[in-house]
Amino acid sequence: MNVLTYLIPISLILGSLGLAFFVFTIRSNQYEDPEGDAQRILSGEYDDKPKQE
Amino acid sequence: MPTIHCAACIAKIEKALAATPSIHSARVNLTLKRVSIEAVPDMTAADAKAVVEGAGYEAHELDSTALSATQADRAGRELLMRLAVAGFAAMNVMLLSIAVWSGAEGPTRDLFHWISAAIVLPAVAFSAQPFFRNAWSALRAGQLNMDVPISLAIALALGTSLWETTLSGEHAYFDAAIALTFFLLAGRYLDHRTRAVARSAAQELTALEVPRAWRVTADGEEQVPVAELRVGDLIHIRPGGRMPVDGEITDGRSELDRSLLTGETLPVLAEPGQAVSAGEVNLTGPLTIRASAVGRDTSLHRMADLVAIAESGRSRYTSLADKAAKLYAPGVHILSALAFVGWYLYAQDLRVALNIAAAVLIITCPCALGLAVPAVTTAASGRLFKQGLLIKDATALERLAQVDTVVFDKTGTLTAGTPELTNLDHLDTRAVQIALALAEGSQHPLSRAVAEAARAAGIAPADVTGCREVPGHGTEGLWNGQRVRFGRSAWAGGGQSEETAAWLSVGDAPAIAFTFTDRLRDGAAEAVAAFQTAGKRVILMSGDAPHPVESLANRLGIDTWMAEARPEDKAARIDALTAEGAHVLMVGDGLNDTVALASAHVSISPASALDAARVASDIVLLGHALTPLPEAAQTAHKATRRIRENFTIATWYNIIAVPLAIAGLCSPLIAALAMSASSITVSLNALRLR
């Protein structure tokens, strides 16, 4: 049963990592344009010199 | 930009915009089909539109003040975050609980319970806040809603479980409390998503009409937002433009299309000195008007007051979910209190009694009920959205399902608002050739109808020279040395006509009438027929003259019709129908329909309707055809049946599980099983609608 001392924390840490990543995706507006992002990856053009602000 | 659909479109538009020096950055959003542009201050939206259209795409400007997406977005994001936290906690606690259910004992069980408590307590404190807040505000107002039993169940389950855990007891409901939160949040999120989609689409319709006007000043004309117009300003209205404010014509002659306000199809002559109202469309010549009422004081906005009165008179519809909650919430509380008192008297043990009470609350908790309605409305709204219908109001579907009487407006609803030539076959070909030559030089709707019909019949224009449009009257020219005129009766020397007509005069010969009828909207005949076969009563109400209304009613097979109806008449008729016990669906588009739209049981307006009419209606028809309407009624009917089925399923689960809980036989395992099983069944049942 001693194995639980490792396994439970490990599973909790992995789970909370997933949660943290999900929170990160929400915070960085990654669900604003799901269709556009899915299409953009197919574009063969690379913008090497984006306009400077 | 309604036409973009792929990666190439995105790249092309962004490239075209980026190549324009005055634009700093542009980003296309394919999901919303919009592009947002950052540019130098003196760049106008029209310039950007020209660039996008140059790249080969249709573009429209959106009024950014009408789009308040950010606020709704934040609420959705918050809900999603809570849902994620609850989901994470539920998964972990379930893992621990499975170990307990499969026979963990002694210190291991206690350890697992403590870990569960450590995960669940903060998770619930964060995730279940919306329920606690709603329940608190309901209780403060002295009422019970669905959130009261939910909050009580969660709080009591956590309390007794903590107590049990400190006494190293066997039954802890941490998993049930967090699973409950998760399922209910899922329902809330679905609900929010459906509404957010509808709201954003409705806002987009409003934002498409960017209110701008040309103000005449000492040094020429300038374009200003309508909100900046003041009483006394001179405003220039081009042919095809809509009046932004009420006013009086100071200069110019033209014709006005007032169909959106009154339902009349005949254009009205406009001369200096005549009063015009906001919403009228200028047809032929440029006009200058002096504003007499702006913004909130215009006749358009005064109609809003009438609408508000009609809405307050509308009997408040209680949704099925609210009805269920009213029955449910007190029942649950009484049941659980009875179980507590009964067990306390029987066993004289506070701990056992509290445990039983918590079990009863968890089992009866309206988890499936919370999912039953949102799951169905999401599925149904999604399906209707694909057919081109936008459900604006949460209870509109349920109300649509009850409809037994359908009232149609004529102009702009059953008809497309564009005229169609009716007597081409009876006309002399020579006359049509001359009329075509004259009509081609004009943008007037009647001229365009003549040109279209003549072209379709393969008629070539006659050789007419010196064509010139006389605003407000018609077009004239020279043919074989004779003066030819095509236009209003009085000007071209024509007689009287019951129908919409334009007259052609050749030299001194008597004028010939070209008669027109309003073109039917696509699918209008099918929609009326489908409603009639479905056993619904169809009524036609219009502000137009009796003759065109009657001929349309006969054409569509509608027995009951009403002509020259003022806005109040329409509303009064609908109120009378409602008083007879009918559930009226009103379909209309004009300003004269808004009051009727608001007083009907449920209302639909096409996207071409005035903003005021769209605001007053529950459902907006996005496409052009009317065919989706009967199908929508059917879908609504099915959706309501699914909701009822879901309630039945949830009730059966309760009927089976509650006696177990009261008898004290309900373990946390049974609670978890009953809850998940009922939630999954209602969701699957809802998905059958798609």
pLDDT band at A47 (very low <50, low <70, confident <90, very high): low
Distance separating alpha carbons of residues B88 and B637, to the nearest angstrom: 37
Sign of CA dihedral B591, B572, B588, B547: negative
pLDDT band at B206 (very low <50, low <70, confident <90, very high): low
Q: How far is A17 from chain B (nearest CA, A)?
A: 10
What is the DSSP secondary-structure string of B278-343? Answer: TT-EE-SS-EEEEEEE-GGGSHHHHHHHHHHHHHHHSPPPPPHHHHHHHHHHHHHHHHHHHHHHHH
Is the pLDDT at B596 greater than 80? The verdict is: yes
B609: left (phi over 0), alpha (psi -120 to 50) or beta: beta
Same domain, B547 and B472: no
Contacting residues of B for A15, CB less than 8 Å apart = 88, 91-92
Contacting residues of A for B85, CB less than 8 Å apart = 19
Distance separating alpha carbons of residues B339 and B344, to the nearest angstrom: 8
- Say yes or no: B31 contacts chain A, CB-CB below 8 A: yes
Q: Do A40 and B77 touch (CB under 8 A)?
A: no
How many domains is chain B built from? 5
Contacting residues of B for A33, CB less than 8 Å apart = 29-32
**Which of the residue ranges B112-116, B178-182, B434-438 would you say has the lowest mean pLDDT?**
B434-438
Same domain, B553 and B406: yes
Is the pLDDT at B264 greater than 80? The verdict is: no
Longest Cα pair distance anywhere in chain A, in angstroms?
60
Is B80 among the domain residues?
yes
Contacting residues of B for A16, CB less than 8 Å apart = 88
List pLDDT tens digits, range B392-401: 777 888 888 8
> What is the model's pLDDT at position B31?
73
Contacting residues of A for B7, CB less than 8 Å apart = 39-43
DSSP-derived pairing of the beta strands B537-541 and B560-562:
parallel
Same domain, B490 and B564: no
> What is the model's pLDDT at position A20?
92
In terms of pLDDT, which residue wins out, B616 or B90? B90
List pLDDT tens digits, range B124-181: 999 999 889 988 988 888 777 778 888 888 888 888 888 888 888 777 888 888 888 8
> What is the model's pLDDT at position B263?
67
- Best A1, A2, A8 member to test B by mutation, with max B CBs in 10 Å, is A8
Contacting residues of B for A22, CB less than 8 Å apart = 84
Same domain, B237 and B291: yes
Among the candidates B281, B310, B339, a domain finishes at B310
CB B632 within 8 A of CB B676: no
Catalytic annotation on B409?
A: yes
Among the candidates B275, B290, B310, a domain finishes at B310
Give me B102's structure tokens.
């499969």
From the list A12, A39, A41, the residue facing B30 with the nearest CB is A39
Is the pLDDT at B70 greater than 60? The verdict is: no
R_g of chain B, CA atoms, integer Å: 32
* β-sheet with B275-276: strand ranges across: B220-225, B212-217, B234-237, B287-293, B246-251, B275-276
Q: Do A22 and B29 touch (CB under 8 A)?
A: no
Same domain, B189 and B217: no
Same domain, B76 and B188: yes
Q: How far is A3 from chain B (nearest CA, A)?
A: 12
List pLDDT tens digits, range B304-315: 666 666 555 554
Same domain, B410 and B469: no
List pLDDT tens digits, range B292-351: 877 667 766 666 666 666 555 554 566 777 777 777 778 888 888 888 888 888 888 888
Residues 524-543 of B with CB under 8 A from A: none
Is B117 among the domain residues?
yes
Is B66 among the domain residues?
no
Sign of CA dihedral B74, B78, B80, B84: positive
List pLDDT tens digits, range B601-644: 888 888 777 777 777 788 888 777 888 888 888 888 888 888 88
Is B484 among the domain residues?
yes
Element (H, E) at B101: helix B69-101
For residue B261, the domain's CATH number is 2.70.150.10
Please, what is the average pLDDT of chain A?
A: 79
> What is the model's pLDDT at position B207?
66
Q: How far is A40 from chain B (nearest CA, A)?
A: 5
Is B507 among the domain residues?
yes
Is the pLDDT at B63 greater than 70? The verdict is: no
Please, what is the average pLDDT of chain B?
A: 80
> What is the model's pLDDT at position B308?
63
Give me the torsion for CA of B389, B395, B401, B404, rounded to 10°.
Answer: -100
- Say yes or no: B30 contacts chain A, CB-CB below 8 A: yes
Domain range for B398: 388-416+521-637
Is the pLDDT at B515 greater than 80? The verdict is: yes
Same domain, B456 and B334: no
List pLDDT tens digits, range B363-377: 877 666 777 788 888
Q: What is the mean pLDDT of residues B462-479?
A: 79
3-state SS assignment for residue A2? coil
- Best A6, A19, A52 member to test B by mutation, with max B CBs in 10 Å, is A19
From the list A11, A39, A41, the residue facing B92 with the nearest CB is A11
- If you count residue pairs, one on A and one on B, with CB atoms under 8 Å apart, how many are there? 57
Contacting residues of B for A11, CB less than 8 Å apart = 92, 95
List pLDDT tens digits, range B269-295: 788 888 888 778 787 778 888 888 776
Is B259 among the domain residues?
yes
Q: Do A19 and B88 touch (CB under 8 A)?
A: yes
Q: What is the mean pLDDT of residues B97-126?
A: 86
- Name the closest residue on chain A to residue B80, using Cα atoms: A26
Q: Do B91 and A15 touch (CB under 8 A)?
A: yes
In terms of pLDDT, which residue wins out, B238 or B638? B638
> What is the model's pLDDT at position B123?
92
Q: How far is A35 from chain B (nearest CA, A)?
A: 5
CB B243 within 8 A of CB B276: yes
For residue B6, the domain's CATH number is 3.30.70.100
From the list A26, A32, A51, the residue facing B24 with the nearest CB is A51
Distance separating alpha carbons of residues B6 and A19, to the nearest angstrom: 32
Q: Considering only CA atoms, which of B443, B482, B445, B477 is closest in space to residue B461?
A: B477
> What is the model's pLDDT at position B250?
84
pLDDT band at B83 (very low <50, low <70, confident <90, very high): very high
Distance separating alpha carbons of residues B236 and B334, to the nearest angstrom: 70
DSSP conformational letter for B242? B
> What is the model's pLDDT at position B66?
57
0.80 cut: is pTM over it?
no
Same domain, B171 and B77: yes
Contacting residues of B for A13, CB less than 8 Å apart = none
Give me B585's structure tokens.
């669906």
Q: Do B31 and A42 touch (CB under 8 A)?
A: no
- Say yes or no: B80 contacts chain A, CB-CB below 8 A: yes
pLDDT band at A17 (very low <50, low <70, confident <90, very high): very high
Using an 8 Å CB-CB cutoff, list residues of chain A that contact chain B. 1, 4, 8, 11-12, 15-16, 18-19, 22-23, 26, 32-36, 39-43, 45, 51, 53
pLDDT band at B219 (very low <50, low <70, confident <90, very high): confident
List pLDDT tens digits, range B18-42: 777 777 777 787 777 777 777 777 7
Q: What is the mean pLDDT of residues B373-387?
A: 82
Give me B345's structure tokens.
């008297």
- Name the closest residue on chain A to residue B30, using Cα atoms: A36
> What is the model's pLDDT at position B525?
86
Distance separating alpha carbons of residues B644 and B650, to the nearest angstrom: 10
Q: Considering only CA atoms, which of B536, B574, B540 is closest in space to residue B554?
A: B540
Sign of CA dihedral B478, B479, B484, B487: negative
pLDDT over 90 percentage in chain A: 6
- Say yes or no: B478 contacts chain A, CB-CB below 8 A: no
From the list A8, A15, A36, the residue facing B10 with the nearest CB is A36
Is B382 among the domain residues?
no
pLDDT band at B566 (very low <50, low <70, confident <90, very high): confident
Is B315 among the domain residues?
no
Of B147, B233, B246, B409, the catalytic one is B409
Same domain, B10 and B83: no
DSSP conformational letter for B534? T
CB B593 within 8 A of CB B567: yes
The total of other beta-carbon atoms located within 10 Å of residue B242's CB is 16
- Say yes or no: B8 contacts chain A, CB-CB below 8 A: yes
Instruction: Give CA separation, B4 vs A31, B102, B434, B622, in Å.
Output: 19, 55, 43, 18
| B584 strand-pairing partners | B405
Q: Which residue has the tokens 């209602």?
A: B682
From the list A22, A42, A51, the residue facing B18 with the nearest CB is A51
What is the DSSP secondary-structure string of B51-96? Answer: HHHHTT-------GGG--HHHHHHHHHHHHHHHHHHHHHHHHHHHH
> What is the model's pLDDT at position A51?
54
Distance separating alpha carbons of residues B310 and B596, to the nearest angstrom: 8
Q: Considering only CA atoms, which of B178, B182, B208, B193 is closest in space to residue B118?
A: B178
pLDDT band at B437 (very low <50, low <70, confident <90, very high): confident
3-class SS letters over B612-634: HHHHHCCEEECCCCCCHHHHHHH
pLDDT over 90 percentage in chain B: 2
Q: How far is B30 from chain A (nearest CA, A)?
A: 4
Distance separating alpha carbons of residues B529 and B413, to the nearest angstrom: 15
Q: Do B119 and A12 touch (CB under 8 A)?
A: yes
> What is the model's pLDDT at position B210?
60
Domain parsing of chain A, residue ranges: 1-29
Q: Considering only CA atoms, which of B640, B629, B400 is closest in space to residue B525?
A: B629
From the list A8, A42, A51, the residue facing B25 with the nearest CB is A51
- Best B29, B31, B70, B116 member to test A by mutation, with max A CBs in 10 Å, is B31
